[in-house]
Amino acid sequence: MLISVVGADGAGKSTLTRLLARRLTELGRPIERIDRWDIVDNPAYPATRFMRPDVPDTRLCVAEMPTESRFLFLMWSISMAVLGKRNPSGSATLLDGYWMKHAASEIVYGLDRPWVEAITAGLPSSDVVLYLRVDPEAAWERKRDGDVVPYECGMDPNCGEHTFLSHQRKIRAELDSWAERDGWIVVDPHRPVPEVLDDLVRRAESALDEHSVSAG
Ligand SMILES: Cc1cn([C@H]2C[C@H](O)[C@@H](COP(=O)(O)OP(=O)(O)O)O2)c(=O)[nH]c1=O
């Protein structure tokens, strides 16, 4: 059972998936949160033992890759995090950073949409996708004090507001079209964190219930 959380940069994916995994576990519904960097220096992923810290530098290297290679690396690393774990716990998986955000980014960076969509279509399907549909302006306010990187701003080395907003608007338009096509659950992330969290918990619990009914 795979629950994926998606949203443009600054939507709150990392913050909220951490809180959501903790809350679901407290409610007796253990779920394993995964993000793509879990594959680094982690014995649970023997096939990625060639990857070494440091992760921040790896992120910079990834941003420098040619677009096609970067896209493939991101699809590989995220799918590896989901699929490649030795002795998986058997509990549901909560994916922080569904690959479709990167698919959207790389289309904005110029990749051919049918090629991108063909590759993502071959990755595991999510049972439910929770889409934190953030306004670019709100994301900028959250991130402006030092949390913005050129990759999020159309590669503007100065990480300016204008380039962030225009790049993020394009990413959101891509995500919106997939949300509509694939029935993602749209969650408003502009509310106070406890309120957004309650909403996510409710959505995740009902997905878990539905899954256990259909599996049982
Ligand atoms: C969830 C949330 C995060 N933040 C902050 C925490 C981080 O500094 C920043 C981005 O959050 P983060 O969870 O890292 O977002 P994502 O993983 O989607 O890129 O925003 C808020 O200011 N308000 C919020 O409601």
- Residue 127's CB is within 10 A of a number of other CB atoms, namely 16
Sort residue 10 into left (φ over 0), alpha (ψ -120 to 50) or beta.
Answer: left
Q: What is the pLDDT of residues 182-208, one digit of tens each?
A: 999 999 999 999 999 999 999 999 999
Q: Does position 216 have pLDDT exceeding 90, yes or no?
A: no
Report which protein residue has its CA nearest ligand 1's atom 22.
142
Report which protein residue has its CA nearest ligand 1's atom 12.
12
Q: What is the pLDDT of residues 90-113, one digit of tens each?
A: 889 999 999 999 999 999 999 999
ipTM over 0.95: yes
Distance CA 95, CA 88 (A): 14
Query: Is there a cis peptide before residue 54, judged by omega within 30 degrees of 0?
Result: yes
Q: How much is the pLDDT for 90?
A: 82
Single out the residue of 119, 112, 108, 39 nearest to residue 75, CA to CA: 119
Domains observed in the chain: 2-34+93-215 (3.40.50.300)
**% of the chain surpassing 90 pLDDT:** 94
Q: How much is the pLDDT for 33?
A: 97
Q: Which residues line ligand 1 (CB under 6 A)?
A: 7, 9-16, 142-143, 147, 193
Distance CA 77, CA 81 (A): 6
Using the mean position of ligand 1's atoms as its centre, give its distance from the Cα of residue 195 in Å. Answer: 15
